[in-house]
A and B are shown apart, each in its own frame.
Chain A
Amino acid sequence: MKTMPLHGAYSPVEMMTIAASRLLSNDDVCLVGIGAPSVACNLARLTHAPDLRLIYESGTIGTRPEVLPLSIGDPELCETALTTISLPEVFRYWIQGGRISVGFLGGAQIDRFGNLNSTVIGDYEAPRVRLPGAGGAPEIASGCREIYIIMELSERRFVERVDFITSFGYGEGGNHRAELGLDTRGPTTVVTDLCILKPHPVTKELMVRSIHPGVSREEISGRCGWPVRFFDPEQTPAPSTEELRVLRDLHRRTEKAHAEDAV
């Protein structure tokens, strides 16, 4: 866990997680990606959205883990779930069936139109880096009503064009989603450790709409792989004492549980 405070008494990663958690509402049915999305989603459940229904790809529905899972199928998720369903049921009835309001994803690479790459860096046939691949992401990206993305901002991750489209965002921009017959909204918010980006209403290019406290426009531009534009950005409210307390408690419980496992 990164705890180095840069802008006051919290780290940029904590700001990112908290800003992401605020996006979720009590009525959401959320398909949770592992890693950063899982932290943000559980923080939302433990603060302002206690009835938020969390679903992990492994089929655990309405799960309420006490500590963060390492994988999408940790026993903790099944033990605290309302019910557990099979994978075909997850993909057919829940994602394809339109029962998920938010898909919360991370990724290795994202481009200016919100397309995600988790397959390869370089050429597909002779990759420089072979990444894990698609998993559930392509159908989560097309089947959930909207997508939130959480990723740390860096030139390597935020690129002009992804090397491989694993999960379709807005393609080439504009009406590309509609042209492919998609009636879901796509990636409506991208939360980073410095700012929040949203697609332009017409072009669908991702633009900075909110800047975290103490962050400069130059820092954001310097860490984005395309000439990023600022669209009337506001300032992200700083983390509250309560948000920070709950987040740090969650990490502390998780580290303790995983340390016990290692013994």
Chain B
Amino acid sequence: MPEAVSLATAIKTLLRPGQSVALEGFTHLIPYAAGHEIIRQGLTGLTLIRMTPDLLYDQMIGMGCARKLIFSWGGNPGVGSLHRFRDAIENAWPRPLEIEEHSHAGMACGYEAGASGLPFGVLRGYVGTDLIRQHQRVRRIECPFTGEKLAAVPALRPDVAIVHAQRADRRGNVLFEGIVGVQKECLYAARRSLVTVEKIVDELTPSGRMATIVPASPAMTICEVPFGAVPSYAQGCYPRSNAFYIAWDGISRDRDRFRAWMEAHGIVPECRVEELSR
């Protein structure tokens, strides 16, 4: 039976500065609490991987955690731009951000390859787009049987995967319900992983609506973090705060207002807070 650890201990144990980390969750079950803990621990130089770097990665990029971003869509869903992400790319603030850009299909394929232990994934993708012109991580290959031209993408193998789920049992098996995105592939692709859950229970009792169970593994650490996906949502537990997603547009537009908001909510490196209070 795995021992219960705190979120702070789990992040401290699993993630080192300069490593690659994927926090996944496709509009649903976004592991905000874990991302905020990464900011608090002052981890920098990270390669952040995520298909949809939305508000959480905007916060992490704006606080200077990232050296590189691997992604396929960087916006505030239904609202507009990610202003911290844009400021990093357009003006190198607070530091330069290297980007490796894909399509969703390409990234999903990269995770599948990683989860399958393959060096690359293959898809009929990126056809005619300028995306394939500007980077070396998508290549054209020929089908050995039909001669069809296809795209190859390298396997995504994050050092650490972090996802959020509704439940885990005391043996460490995890239950996801609702929109499941690419979380399972991400967990299997990573070397080590952290799953934050709303609740640890004796028995997993799926409601039957799109339930996915990932069996316990020694590579997987579980932490109970209620409301760990706020302001995104956990199907069956709490709704998405669309109002916060809309409000973030104003908060994040200005550098000072952004920093003030992060400080007011205690989402800043701990050493910085001490420095400030001195």
Contact = CB atoms under 8 A, between A and B. Distances in A.
A71 B27 contact: yes
Interface in B50-84: 51-52, 71-75, 77-79, 81-82
Interface stretch (B15-23, B34-42, B85-93, B249-257): B85-93
Contact of A59 (B81, B130, B179): B179
B131 A75 contact: no
Contacts of B199: none
Interface string A145-173: 00000000000000000001111100100
A246 interface: no
Interface string B92-104: 0000000001111
Contact of A87 (B178, B181, B209): B181
A139 interface: yes
Given A91-B104, A91-B109, A58 B27 contact: yes
A95 B241 CA distance: 30
A96 B127 contact: no
Contacts of A96: 105, 123-125
Contact of A166 (B82, B129, B239): B129
A127 B103 contact: no
Of residues B52, B108, B112, B129, which shows the largest number of chain A Cβ atoms within 10 Å of its Cβ? B129
Contact of B131 (A130, A131, A166, A262): A166
A139 B103 contact: yes
A253 to B, nearest CB: 14
Given A58-B26, A166-B130, A71 B77 contact: yes
Nearest to A125: B134
Given A71-B242, A139-B124, A166-B130, 20 more contacts: A34-B77, A59-B26, A79-B235, A86-B180, A87-B104, A87-B182, A88-B112, A91-B105, A91-B109, A92-B123, A119-B130, A129-B90, A133-B75, A133-B101, A134-B72, A134-B102, A134-B104, A135-B103, A165-B130, A168-B127
28 contacts: A34-B77, A59-B26, A59-B180, A70-B240, A70-B245, A71-B245, A84-B179, A90-B108, A92-B108, A96-B123, A115-B128, A130-B74, A130-B86, A131-B75, A132-B73, A133-B74, A134-B101, A134-B129, A138-B126, A139-B124, A139-B125, A143-B124, A165-B128, A180-B128, A181-B149, A182-B128, A262-B242, A262-B243
Interface of A: 34-35, 57-60, 69-75, 77-79, 83-84, 86-88, 90-92, 95-96, 115, 119, 124, 127-139, 142-143, 164-168, 171, 176-177, 180-182, 258, 261-262
